[in-house]
Amino acid sequence: MDRRLHEAALRGDVPAFLDLVREDGNIVGQKIAGSLNTVLHLAAKFGHLELASEIVQLSPKMVSAENGRMETPLYEACLEGHVDIVMLLLEKDPSVAYKVNLHNESAMLVACARGQFIVVKHLLSYPRLLMLEDNQLTTPLHAAVFAGHTDIVKEILAARPDFMWKRDFQGCSPLHLACNKGHLEITRELLRLDPDLSSLQDNDTRTPLHWAAMKGHVSILDEILSTSLDSAYMLTKQGETVLHLAVKNNQYDAIKYLVETLNITKLVNMPDNDGNTILHLGTAGKLITMVTYLVNKTSIDVNAVNNAGFTALDVVEYDVSNSKAPQLRLTLQEAGCKRCNQLPLGSPKIQRIRVQRNPNDPYPGSMKIIMSSPTNSHRKCREKQHELHQQGLRNARNTIIVLAVLIATVTFGAGISPPGGVNQETGKAIMGREIAFKFFTVCNTSAFFFSLGIVIVLVSIIPFQRKSMMKILVATHKVMWVSVSFMAAGYIAAMWLIIPPGKGTRWLLVAIVSIGGGCLTIIFGGLGVMLAGHRLRKLEWKREKGKKKKRSPKTGHERKSSHESINSDLESAEGNGFHPF
């Protein structure tokens, strides 16, 4: 576009524009590079009515000219609210009102989104205009509701009340959008026209109440629930209640309102499809304030077990990266929450829910709850603990192999390149006759071959029973202690060789021996005490188990319970959560 024409259009300078037209009659049809806007697009955008009138008079076809976004000048006038230019353009070519842009948006829709009330009111005088929106997913009502323009919403509803039931590409009705954005007046207007809108579900089967809870709009929650309580008990396809969604999104005020307003004794303990109650979700989300409120102000079952066999306390202890774990653990324990393996056999068992679509319901996405029979949560907890124990043994086996290979590598290198070096002519160790060197060689060689032996044993034997794996790990672990001790002793001997003798270095030699020997003594001594304590607890557990067997007859049920608790290491170390070997 000619620079002079562009400047005249921006200023709305009609005389300058007419002078340019007299110089070149074809200049009117020029477009801006890139956007492809015409001079009429610019006049419509900046509200230059006189200039727009001259352009339309000179070239009427420019009313329907499209830019790079397939938008006519009418779009620019609607966006900016220049109703006089809108009237001018529609008077010259009414058909432009029915065009859509590259994003399938009409001029009516963009005016509603921008909140241009006078423009929208004028466009609504074209009765056929809203018929264009019948085949569109996103209607002007959606756009007006999303932006919160209440006056425009009322005008559209007066003309097309059926638009309140239309859904966009996400399945959201206008009420979903109003609840999502927290527009209270629009929510009231929609519910006043049809309270049944509160039961509509989007593509994820979320109702408007669900969206209000997710966003924490307490006033919206109050408005919907004061109209109808039906939606409070509707579930998503993941089996989530309105409480689940509020907790997931950390909406404390919404939870507090729902708890204090509704009779949610059943709702507060309802699990989702994964068996998680809202306490599980609050704990997993590290929501200390939420968890404290739930355990102190509601009748929530603090020992409910999810499908993975975890209580809320298990969830805290399972996430080792949780910096808030100590405070959450204390809050839950004060409320009586226990780990799943601490629950008695006769503890109440959770009821799981199954969600299925109801073909007879008028709302296509609606769900109904089907309660299944109770499951043995205690058995699931035991199975989970045994699985974690087996995994820990496998990890320990792999760790010992890696450590043994590392020790063998280090000691091999130290044997080839001994402390003090070798004679370049003979290739013999320079300090080979020293007593410390001989001690180093014996320790280094012992550590090397003990480590090789550990590697050979662990890669040659594949145990498929827990007891067999435990025996192999105990044996190789003790050999690993010996190998590490020899390597440490060899290191001290090497330091003794390479540090020059004398009064000034004697203290350094003493420090090396003291630190090295002291550290090994403390570590091995501490582990030995832990191991002895575990062995004593294990023997005590076996004695108690034997007494119970003598006192009670061996019924079939009791044999089954005994079979579930055959791991004596795990059972005797239940309180600590770990055991040495």
Query: What are the pLDDT digits (tens) for 105-141?
Result: 889 899 999 999 999 999 988 877 777 666 677 888 9
Tokens of 554: 């061996």
Give the burial string for 170-204 (b: 16+ CB within 10 Å, else e).
ebbbbbbbbbbbbbbebbbbbbeeeeebbbbbbee
Residue 322: pLDDT band with limits 50, 70, 90: low
> Do the beta carbons of residue 31 and residue 1 sit within 8 Å?
yes
Least confident of 301-310, 322-331, 378-387, 432-441: 378-387
Write down the pLDDT at residue 358: 45
Which has more pLDDT, 361 or 140? 140
> Do the beta carbons of residue 458 and residue 397 sit within 8 Å?
yes
Is residue 31 included in any domain, yes or no?
A: no
Residue-range definition of the domain harbouring residue 453: 374-498
Is residue 451 included in any domain, yes or no?
A: yes
Is residue 66 included in any domain, yes or no?
A: no
- DSSP H or E run through 79: helix 73-80
Length of the chain in terms of residues written? 581
Is residue 444 included in any domain, yes or no?
A: yes
Residue 73: pLDDT band with limits 50, 70, 90: very high
Domain count, the chain: 1
Task: Give, to the nearest 10 degrees, the angle between helix 208-215 and helix 252-261.
Answer: 130
Q: How many CA atoms lie within 13 A of 183 on its CB side?
A: 23
Write down the pLDDT at residue 464: 66
* Helix, strand or coil, per DSSP, at residue 354: strand
User: Can you tell me the distance from the alpha carbon of 73 to that of 40, in angstroms, rounded to the nearest whole number?
Assistant: 6
Tokens of 443: 């320790």
> What percentage of the chain's residues is helix, strand, coil (to nearest 5)?
65, 5, 30
* Mean pLDDT for the stretch of residues 344-358: 43
Write down the pLDDT at residue 379: 59
Percentage above 70 pLDDT, the chain: 82
DSSP 122-158: HHTTSTTTGGGGGG-SS-HHHHHHHHT-HHHHHHHHH
Closest by CA position to 211, among listed 292, 145, 150: 145
Write down the pLDDT at residue 552: 52
Judge residue 411's burial from the number of C-beta atoms within 10 Å of its C-beta, 0-12 exposed, 13-18 middle, 19 or more buried.
buried
Give the burial string for 68-95 (b: 16+ CB within 10 Å, else e).
eeebbbbbbbbbbbbbebbebbbebbee
Write down the pLDDT at residue 148: 92
Write down the pLDDT at residue 380: 60
User: Can you tell me the distance from the alpha carbon of 258 to that of 244, in angstroms, rounded to the nearest whole number?
Assistant: 12
Write down the pLDDT at residue 364: 37
First to last CA, the chain: 84
**Residue 348: pLDDT over 50:** no
Percentage above 90 pLDDT, the chain: 20
Give the chain's count of helices (H) and strands (E).
Answer: 26, 2
pLDDT for 259-307, tens place per residue?
888 766 678 888 998 889 999 999 888 888 999 999 888 888 888 888 8
**Residue 374: pLDDT over 50:** no
User: Can you tell me the distance from the alpha carbon of 529 to that of 506, in angstroms, rounded to the nearest whole number?
Assistant: 34
* Mean pLDDT for the stretch of residues 79-104: 89
**Residue 354: pLDDT over 50:** no
* Mean pLDDT for the stretch of residues 161-187: 91
Map tokens 């919404």 to a residue.
Answer: 254
Which has more pLDDT, 150 or 520? 150
> Do the beta carbons of residue 130 and residue 160 sit within 8 Å?
yes
Write down the pLDDT at residue 549: 59
**Residue 562: pLDDT over 60:** no
Least confident of 110-114, 157-161, 374-378, 407-411: 374-378
| Residue type present at position 256 | K
**Residue 557: pLDDT over 50:** no
Tokens of 248: 């997931």
Is residue 396 included in any domain, yes or no?
A: yes
Mean pLDDT of the chain: 80
Is residue 228 included in any domain, yes or no?
A: no
**Residue 578: pLDDT over 60:** no
Task: Compute CA 220 distance to the chain's CA centroid, rounded to the nearest angstrom.
Answer: 26
Residue 323: pLDDT band with limits 50, 70, 90: confident
User: Can you tell me the distance from the alpha carbon of 99 to that of 105, in angstroms, rounded to the nearest whole number?
Assistant: 8
**Residue 184: pLDDT over 80:** yes
User: Can you tell me the distance from the alpha carbon of 100 to that of 444, in angstroms, rounded to the nearest whole number?
Assistant: 83
Contacts of 334 (CB under 8 A, 6+ apart): none
User: Can you tell me the distance from the alpha carbon of 442 to that of 456, in angstroms, rounded to the nearest whole number?
Assistant: 21
**Residue 367: pLDDT over 50:** no
pLDDT for 537-546, tens place per residue?
777 767 776 6
Is residue 483 included in any domain, yes or no?
A: yes
Residue 473: pLDDT band with limits 50, 70, 90: confident
Tokens of 53: 């009138």
* Helix, strand or coil, per DSSP, at residue 66: coil
Most confident of 145-149, 494-498, 519-523: 145-149
**Residue 352: pLDDT over 70:** no
Least confident of 238-242, 265-269, 481-485: 265-269
Least confident of 152-156, 161-165, 247-251, 377-381: 377-381
Tokens of 231: 């939606």
DSSP category for residue 197? G
**Residue 151: pLDDT over 80:** yes
DSSP category for residue 309? S
Map tokens 């997710």 to a residue.
Answer: 214
Closest by CA position to 133, among listed 91, 181, 98: 98
* Mean pLDDT for the stretch of residues 433-458: 86
pLDDT for 197-217, tens place per residue?
999 999 989 999 999 999 999
* Helix, strand or coil, per DSSP, at residue 308: coil
Contacts of 528 (CB under 8 A, 6+ apart): none
User: Nearest 5 degrees, angle CA 219-CA 222-CA 226?
Assistant: 145
Is residue 416 included in any domain, yes or no?
A: yes
Write down the pLDDT at residue 349: 43
Map tokens 């077990």 to a residue.
Answer: 305
Which has more pLDDT, 135 or 375? 135
> Do the beta carbons of residue 149 and residue 121 sit within 8 Å?
no
Residue 243: pLDDT band with limits 50, 70, 90: very high
**Residue 489: pLDDT over 50:** yes
Give the burial string for 441-464 (b: 16+ CB within 10 Å, else e).
bebbebbbebbbebbebbeeeeee
pLDDT for 446-458, tens place per residue?
988 988 888 888 8
Contacts of 244 (CB under 8 A, 6+ apart): 272, 276, 278, 281
**Residue 507: pLDDT over 80:** no
